[in-house]
Structure 1
Amino acid sequence: MFVKTLFASAVFAVVVSVVISAELYTNKYDNIDLDEILKNERLYQKYFDCLRGKGKCTPDGQNLKDVIPDALQTECGKCSEVQKKGVEKVLRFMLTQKPEDYQILEDIFDKDAVYRKKYEEQKKLAVEGKPITY
């Protein structure tokens, strides 16, 4: 009986650790300098082209491209605090400095306009320079 309980506890611990680790996106790219990318037109354009399917993606660009649909669906529910701050920074930049690019990505990642109304308040806050709430 003790062995069964120990085994069940071990299996439960493994399952819990897998679920917990799957709850957040990888933090592998959290140290990327977003300001460097946003301030450098050449770098910015490479990422933008990757996201819109018009250019080659770096591994971090491909990861971002892969994660965007899930992040939209889950309201960034798997984002760490660092990632949420990064999303806010990029969102604010694109809405205020590159609105045409934002529209292009919105058309790509929200073809059916499912998320446009859902995130309208966050867009408004970003443009106004106020903190975005999730």
Structure 2
Amino acid sequence: MAGKLLFVFIFAVALSGALTAELYTTKYDNIDIEDILNNERLYQKYFDCLRSSGKCTADGQYLKEVLPDALQTECSKCSDKQKHGAEKVLRFMLTKKPEDYQVLENIFDKESIYRKKYEEQKRLATEGKPIEY
């Protein structure tokens, strides 16, 4: 009986580790997105990182690496906090930095695969409505 319980415990730990591995790291979740978006110098550093025209911080590099996957999977590996942050950034870029949004869209969606897929989210963001994932 103890052997079965140990096996179940090990299986549960392994399974929880596998499920956790399916999510993006939450290591950078405490970064103040508002501070970055409202500080032109900080915003520009992240924007330059994403478009490969400047140095990246560790969190900027991570974002750059996971962004294609997040687009492809509709942020299915994002935590709720990450989804909320993505909505803030998307809304900000669409309403205050549409040219920058277009630059990133051209980089991360060269074949317009996601453009149609996210058209509804884009419409909601520009209308000031909540974005649904």
| TM-score bracket for the superposition, by shorter chain length | over 0.9
SS in structure 2 opposite 1:115? helix
The alpha carbon displacement at 1:7 in A equals 6.2
The alpha carbon displacement at 1:11 in A equals 4.6
The alpha carbon displacement at 1:10 in A equals 4.6
Counting only pairs closer than 5 Å after superposition, residues 74-113 of structure 1 correspond to structure 2 as: 74-113=73-112
- Matched letter for residue 125 of structure 1: L
The alpha carbon displacement at 1:13 in A equals 2.1
Counting only pairs closer than 5 Å after superposition, residues 51-70 of structure 1 correspond to structure 2 as: 51-70=50-69
List runs of 5+ in structure 1 lacking aligned partners.
none
- Matched letter for residue 28 of structure 1: K
Whole-angstrom distance in 2 between the partners of 1:45 and 1:32: 16
Moved over 3 A (4+): 5-8
The alpha carbon displacement at 1:69 in A equals 0.7
Q: Which residue of structure 2 lines up, in the alignment, with residue 27 of structure 1?
A: 26
The alpha carbon displacement at 1:47 in A equals 0.2
The alpha carbon displacement at 1:28 in A equals 1.0
Root mean square deviation of aligned Cα: 1.5
SS in structure 2 opposite 1:27? coil
Is the aligned partner of 1:36 residue 2:35?
yes
TM-score, length-scaled by structure 1: 0.92
State, as a whole percentage, how many aligned pairs show the same letter: 71
The alpha carbon displacement at 1:2 in A equals 6.9
Number of paired residues?
133
SS in structure 2 opposite 1:116? helix
- Matched letter for residue 35 of structure 2: E
List runs of 5+ in structure 2 lacking aligned partners.
none
The alpha carbon displacement at 1:15 in A equals 2.8
Is the aligned partner of 1:117 residue 2:102?
no
Whole-angstrom distance in 1 between the partners of 2:39 and 2:2: 62
Q: Which residue of structure 2 lines up, in the alignment, with residue 49 of structure 1?
A: 48
Whole-angstrom distance in 2 between the partners of 1:35 and 1:21: 27
